[in-house]
Amino acid sequence: MELITVLLSGLLLLISPVGIVLDQVAENAIRSRLVDADSLTVRVDNSPSYQVLQGRVERVRIAGRGVVPRPDLRIAVAELETDPIDLDLGGLRRGEVVLDEPLQGALRLVLTETDLNAFLRSPTVARQLGEIKIGSLNPAQARERNRYKLRNPVIDFLPEESSSVPTDNRLRITVDLEDQVQEGALQLKAEVSLSISAGDRLTITNPMLTVNGIPAPPQLVTSLLGNVNDRLSLQQLDQRGVVLRVISFAIEPEELSLAMWVRVDPSVTRPETANIVP
């Protein structure tokens, strides 16, 4: 979500109150909102040029490599191409940048295995893992809701020939399961396949779980993976006025690629509700 916010906020500041659009101005606006970027290019297409004065831009294309939208996350490739952008002319005259019509476009992201594992080692992920409640595996001890904590996650993208299940888009997650009651830790390895359902939900299928190399009991698989699919729905963003739908998804030996359609509601940019434009 941070990357989308950065790209769109920079994009929505392309037009100054006097109606001047420049590729370099656009690039600078986006760079100023990034922690870092190896490369960033922006192209603004507008013909005829007088449409800018009416608050309309035909198309904006943004291509970034090694983009860092937040200190703990690096994205190998980030590309955004918009449909025509319509801005409220009255807002422009007041020096405000407000969408008159929804902004739509195509977003492509590529994340490498190395960058994802660096993110998994970040304090942000450690804090989120600490909030996951995993109870005892013994039904008689079900009230021990916080007995186990997840630590040290690592992701490996699996080519089809090295996977236990011959299917595409498969990965292995290794994590330590620390016992908070009795000192010690178990090493969990979960192989899962990922697929997209209805364009908005990343679904885990064909899970295979081992504990210290031994196949895990069904109740542990249920405890760890039972609610994960519900957490992976992009519909969580809809209520914030940002709609994302996955067009294509693929896991290669070293990287994960996503192509998405994005839509931003005008309400997101209005001063009283803005959460993209600062």
pLDDT tens digits for range 187-241 = 989 898 888 887 777 788 888 889 899 998 777 676 666 556 656 677 776 777 8
Give the number of other CB atoms < 10 A from CB of residue 269: 25
Query: Could you identify the residue written with the tokens 């509601």?
Result: 265
Nearest-10 Cα torsion for 105, 106, 112, 113? 100
For residues 18 and 93, what is the distance between their CA atoms, to the nearest angstrom? 8
For residues 249 and 198, what is the distance between their CA atoms, to the nearest angstrom? 13
Q: Which two tokens mark 138?
A: 């013994």
For residues 14 and 7, what is the distance between their CA atoms, to the nearest angstrom? 11
User: Which amino acid is located at 171 in the chain?
Assistant: L
The reported pTM is: 0.79
Q: Which two tokens mark 90?
A: 């009255």
pLDDT tens digits for range 9-63 = 665 555 444 444 457 767 777 888 899 999 999 887 876 555 665 667 888 899 9
